[in-house]
Amino acid sequence: MEEVEKHFKCPYCFERISMLLDPSISDVQSYVEDCEVCCNPIQITFEVIEDKIKQFQAQKAYG
């Protein structure tokens, strides 16, 4: 299964960015990745059902 490119706005700098998501795991996935523009940490959470991304959320990551 190929990774899927997801476009969204950074919750810090509001620039439009994209990240590659792996839909091969049918479950909720959550991880932190830095914005490619402002380098702030973004908490990425998404749910995969039947190899499709059903829910996606990008929010500020707090330590």
Give the contacts of 14 (CB within 8 A, at least 6 positions apart). Answer: none
Residue 62's identity, in one-letter code, is: Y
- pLDDT at residue 6, as a whole number: 96
Q: Which domain holds residue 38?
A: 4-60
Counting the structural domains of the chain, the total is 1
pLDDT by 10s per residue, the chain, length 63: 789 999 999 999 999 999 999 998 889 999 999 999 999 999 999 999 988 999 999 999 986
Q: Return the CA Rg of the chain.
A: 12
C-alpha 62, offset from chain centre = 15
Pairing of strands 16-21, 4-9: antiparallel
